[in-house]
């Protein structure tokens, strides 16, 4: 929540937002009080202790009788859909995935390639180019004139004309592709780098002397996969000279879990690699969601990342999926992608802590920093049995004070929540469509939902690119913020803090 202290008022004035300060002070006086949830059960693990919130504050807020019909749009009054751009061209039959941003452009990943949109008018996104380059999941990021694309399915070769293959075939290819996007209408494929177990996701870490590093996350090894052998307790690091990207090369595969990580035999999935890493370069920190473990990593030396703390939740987290820092780098929101994103897990049966977020405070200094569990957050609405729904990709909303996040929940829609009080997160806005089908579970919904330069952009698996506008005093200061480039897994310091 925005600060209303004298110190906060002075900070608002320092940004030239005196009127905003007055509005914040007046509205905070009428803001409703929210009861805090209790904690009534703690489970001690060999890595950490997790307390399970209980009490009526976490009761799900809608009944099955209130479920929307097929494709029926519902939202809170303060969050409105202002544009939808259906998938087109070669991407029309593919699954939409992640999004990156640069200037007036959005780069939409898709299992069949990627699409570049001109979003100079957020109410009318315009396709600039559609690149056909099949390979799941085509996680995308941009840096200057370069675009990076993850391939996490075995292909016959590294070209964009490749066909599907098998990971049991040594000659199959998976890894990173690099494109020149200096001409947005004609992106040019320039380089590939093969990595162990492919590249499910990747994270850009800026370096020095004109270099950028790509941290590649991959998992699911097998004795039958020549290029993906167990144990796979590592990430891959690619070094890219930005002026000569054709010289990009794999430089190391640091092992993050020398003890093997979380073993089999409990609720959580075995740690065998990482699913997603989020770097906060200004803080020289990275948070990793690594299937069975959550980690905090020192990246002061980007070629030699060091794990400084690890947490585990064997009661409520099945699959540590992604991580998001708050803007001061003092908290991490981890997500649990229970069921891999294909199951209906926003039901009464799953309750408020399965397939949810885990909110952790970072306490201590230096190598003594630790992740301390504070609470869970899950959307407070029941979804139907035909809607795949679970926590997924989101980003910080860059308000000057407080902690607000927007997040995709597949067919659970989009949720904006305030976690300024780490122990009492609460939703402040939401948007959702009804199911794609009311008779069978068809995978769809919001894959990634991110705040960029005053609007929320969301890549819907089936429906295409959505643009939403939030009108709420709590996000007013975020609308003054502008960044030139945004890869959410490379978290910027929006206000230079």
Residue 43 DSSP SS3: strand
Q: Which CATH superfamily is domain 34-486 in?
A: YVTN repeat-like/Quinoprotein amine dehydrogenase (2.130.10.10)
Q: Would you list the domain boundaries of the chain? A: 1-33, 34-486
- Judge whether residue 27 has pLDDT over 60: no
- Judge whether residue 236 has pLDDT over 80: yes
Per-residue pLDDT, 495: 83
Per-residue pLDDT, 26: 38
Query: Could you tell me which of 325, 323, 108 has the C-alpha nearest to residue 217?
Result: 323
CA distance 451 to 457: 6
Per-residue pLDDT, 269: 87
Per-residue pLDDT of 314-365, as tens digits, reads: 899 999 999 999 999 999 999 999 999 999 999 999 999 999 999 999 999 9
Contacts of 346 (CB under 8 A, 6+ apart): 355, 378, 379, 381, 382, 383, 387, 389, 390, 409, 412
Per-residue pLDDT of 251-310, as tens digits, reads: 999 999 999 999 876 678 899 999 999 999 999 999 999 999 999 999 999 999 999 999
pTM, rounded to two decimals: 0.88
Per-residue pLDDT, 409: 98
DSSP 68: -
CA distance 236 to 152: 13
CA distance 272 to 263: 9
- The share of the chain scoring above pLDDT 90, in percent, equals 83
What size, in residues, is the chain? 497
Per-residue pLDDT, 67: 82
Classify burial at 396, counting beta carbons within 10 Å of its beta carbon; exposed 0-12, middle 13-18, buried 19 or more.
Answer: buried
Compute the average pLDDT of residues 15-26: 40
- CA trace torsion 474, 480, 482, 488 (10° rounding): -10
Compute the average pLDDT of residues 385-410: 97
- Judge whether residue 41 has pLDDT over 90: no
pLDDT class of 497 with cuts at 50, 70, 90? low
């Amino acid at each position: 929540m925005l600060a209303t202290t004298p110190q906060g008022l002075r900070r608002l004035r320092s940004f030239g937002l005196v009127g905003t300060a007055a509005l914040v002070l007046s509205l905070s006086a009428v803001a409703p009080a929210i009861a805090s949830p209790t904690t009534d059960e703690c489970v001690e693990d060999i890595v950490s202790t997790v307390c399970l919130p209980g009490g009526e504050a976490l009761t799900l807020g809608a009944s099955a009788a209130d479920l929307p019909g097929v494709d029926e749009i519902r939202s809170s009054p303060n969050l409105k859909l202002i544009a939808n751009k259906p998938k087109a061209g070669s991407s029309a039959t593919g699954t939409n995935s992640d999004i990156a941003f640069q200037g007036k452009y959005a780069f939409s990943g898709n299992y069949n390639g990627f699409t570049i949109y001109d979003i100079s008018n957020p109410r009318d996104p315009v396709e600039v180019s559609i690149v056909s380059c099949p390979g799941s999941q085509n996680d995308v990021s941009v840096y200057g004139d370069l675009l990076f694309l993850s391939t996490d399915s075995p292909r016959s070769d590294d070209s964009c004309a490749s066909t599907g293959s098998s990971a049991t075939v040594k000659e199959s290819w998976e890894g990173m592709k690099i494109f020149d996007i200096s001409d947005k209408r004609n992106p040019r494929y320039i380089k590939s780098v093969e990595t162990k177990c492919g590249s499910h996701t990747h994270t850009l870490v800026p370096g020095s002397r004109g270099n950028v590093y790509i941290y590649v996350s991959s998992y699911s090894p097998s004795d039958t996969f020549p290029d993906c052998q167990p144990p796979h307790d590592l990430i891959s690091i690619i070094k890219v000279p930005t002026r000569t990207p054709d010289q990009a090369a794999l430089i190391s595969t640091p092992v993050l879990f020398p003890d093997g990580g979380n073993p089999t035999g409990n609720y959580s999935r075995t740690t065998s690699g990482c699913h997603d890493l989020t770097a906060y370069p200004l803080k020289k920190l990275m948070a990793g969601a690594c299937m069975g473990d959550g980690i905090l990593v020192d990246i002061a030396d980007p070629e030699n990342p060091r794990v400084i703390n690890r947490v585990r939740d064997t009661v409520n987290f099945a699959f540590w999926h992604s991580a998001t820092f708050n803007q001061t780098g003092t908290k991490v929101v981890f997500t649990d992608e229970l069921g891999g994103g294909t199951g209906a897990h926003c039901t009464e049966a799953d309750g408020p802590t399965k397939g949810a977020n885990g909110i952790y405070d970072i306490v201590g200094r230096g190598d003594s920093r630790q992740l301390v569990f504070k609470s869970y957050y899950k959307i407070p609405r029941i979804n139907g049995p035909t809607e795949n729904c679970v926590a997924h990709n989101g980003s910080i909303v860059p308000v000057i004070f407080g902690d607000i996040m927007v997040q995709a929940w597949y067919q659970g829609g989009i949720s904006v929540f305030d976690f300024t009080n780490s122990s009492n997160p609460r939703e402040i806005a939401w948007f959702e469509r009804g199911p794609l089908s009311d008779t069978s579970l068809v995978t769809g919904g919001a894959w990634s939902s991110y705040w960029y330069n005053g609007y929320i952009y969301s890549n819907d698996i089936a429906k295409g690119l959505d643009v939403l506008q939030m009108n709420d005093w709590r996000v007013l200061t975020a609308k003054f913020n502008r960044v030139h480039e945004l890869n959410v897994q490379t978290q910027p310091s929006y206000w230079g803090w």
